[in-house]
Structure 1
Amino acid sequence: MTMSEEDVQQKLRDLFSDDRLGVQSTLNPDTIVAGARRRRRRRQLIQTTSGMAAAIVMVGSGLAVFSIHTKDNGAVISADQLSMGQTATSPVPPGPGTSAPPVSPPVAPSSQASVPPPSSAADGTVKPPKSTAATKPPAQGKVTTGALLTSAGFGKLRLGMSESEAEATAGPLRAKEVRGGCTYGYAEGSAVPGPTSVSLTEAQGITVINPAGTVHTPEGIGVGSTEADILAAYPGSTKDGSAYIAPAGAVSAYRIFVANDGSAVSILLTSLNQDCQFS
Structure 2
Amino acid sequence: MNMSEEDVQQKLRDLFSDERLGAGSTLNPETIVAGARRRRRRRQLMQTTSGMAAAIVMVGGGLTVFTIHDKDNGAAFPGDQLTMGAASSSLARPGPGTSEPPVSSPAPPPTHTAAPPQSTASDGPVKPPKSTAATKPPAQGKVTTGALLTSAGFGKLRLGMSESEAEATAGPLRAKEVRGTCTYGYAEGAAVPGPSSVSLTEAEGITVINPAGTVHTPEGIGVGSTEADILAAYPGSTKDGGAYVAPVSAVSAYRIFVAKDGSAVSILLTSINQDCQFS
TM, length-normalised to structure 2: 0.50
Which letter maps to 2:218? P
Q: Report what 1:175 is aligned to.
A: 175
Q: Report what 2:228 is aligned to.
A: 228
Question: Contact 2:151 / 2:248 at 8 angstroms: preserved in 1?
Answer: yes
- Per-residue deviation at 1:139? 6.0
Q: Which runs of 5+ in 1 are unaligned?
A: 1-136
Offset from partner CA, 1:89-108 (integer Å, 9 cap, x none) = xxxxxxxxxxxxxxxxxxxx
Q: Report what 2:143 is aligned to.
A: 143
Offset from partner CA, 1:42-65 (integer Å, 9 cap, x none) = xxxxxxxxxxxxxxxxxxxxxxxx
Q: How does 1:99-138 map to 2 (within 5 A)?
A: none
- Where 1:274 maps in the other structure, the secondary structure is coil
- Per-residue deviation at 1:241? 0.2
Offset from partner CA, 1:212-250 (integer Å, 9 cap, x none) = 000000000000000000000000000000000001111
Q: Report what 1:266 is aligned to.
A: 266
Q: Report what 2:211 is aligned to.
A: 211
- Per-residue deviation at 1:194? 0.1
| Aligned equivalents of 2:150, 2:249: Cα separation in 1 | 9
Question: Contact 2:159 / 2:209 at 8 angstroms: preserved in 1?
Answer: yes
- Does 2:210 align with 1:249? no
Question: Contact 1:223 / 1:264 at 8 angstroms: preserved in 2?
Answer: yes
Structure 1 residues 138 and 265, CA, compared in 2 at 3 Å: closer, same or farther? Answer: closer
Q: Report what 1:23 is aligned to.
A: none
- Does 2:191 align with 1:191? yes
Q: Report what 2:47 is aligned to.
A: none
- Where 2:276 maps in the other structure, the secondary structure is coil
Question: Contact 1:140 / 1:232 at 8 angstroms: preserved in 2?
Answer: no
Offset from partner CA, 1:59-117 (integer Å, 9 cap, x none) = xxxxxxxxxxxxxxxxxxxxxxxxxxxxxxxxxxxxxxxxxxxxxxxxxxxxxxxxxxx
Q: How many residues are matched? A: 143
Q: Report what 1:276 is aligned to.
A: 276
Q: Which runs of 5+ in 2 are unaligned?
A: 1-136
| Aligned equivalents of 1:178, 1:206: Cα separation in 2 | 13
Structure 1 residues 217 and 175, CA, compared in 2 at 3 Å: closer, same or farther? Answer: same
| Aligned equivalents of 1:169, 1:180: Cα separation in 2 | 25
Q: Report what 1:240 is aligned to.
A: 240
Q: Report what 2:26 is aligned to.
A: none
Larger of the two Rg values belongs to structure? 2
Q: Report what 1:158 is aligned to.
A: 158
| Aligned equivalents of 2:249, 2:142: Cα separation in 1 | 20
Structure 1 residues 139 and 267, CA, compared in 2 at 3 Å: closer, same or farther? Answer: closer
| Aligned equivalents of 1:221, 1:162: Cα separation in 2 | 28
Which letter maps to 1:213? G
Question: Contact 1:188 / 1:195 at 8 angstroms: preserved in 2?
Answer: yes
Structure 1 residues 138 and 175, CA, compared in 2 at 3 Å: closer, same or farther? Answer: closer
- Per-residue deviation at 1:138? 6.6
Question: Contact 1:227 / 1:263 at 8 angstroms: preserved in 2?
Answer: yes
Offset from partner CA, 1:149-192 (integer Å, 9 cap, x none) = 00000000000000000000000000000000000000000000
Runs of 4+ in 1 over 3 A off after TM superposition: 137-140
Offset from partner CA, 1:109-164 (integer Å, 9 cap, x none) = xxxxxxxxxxxxxxxxxxxxxxxxxxxx9765100000000000000000000000
| Aligned equivalents of 2:277, 2:254: Cα separation in 1 | 14
Question: Contact 1:208 / 1:268 at 8 angstroms: preserved in 2?
Answer: yes
Two-structure CA RMSD over aligned residues (Å): 1.2
Which letter maps to 1:211? P
- Where 1:256 maps in the other structure, the secondary structure is strand
Question: Contact 2:139 / 2:228 at 8 angstroms: preserved in 1?
Answer: no
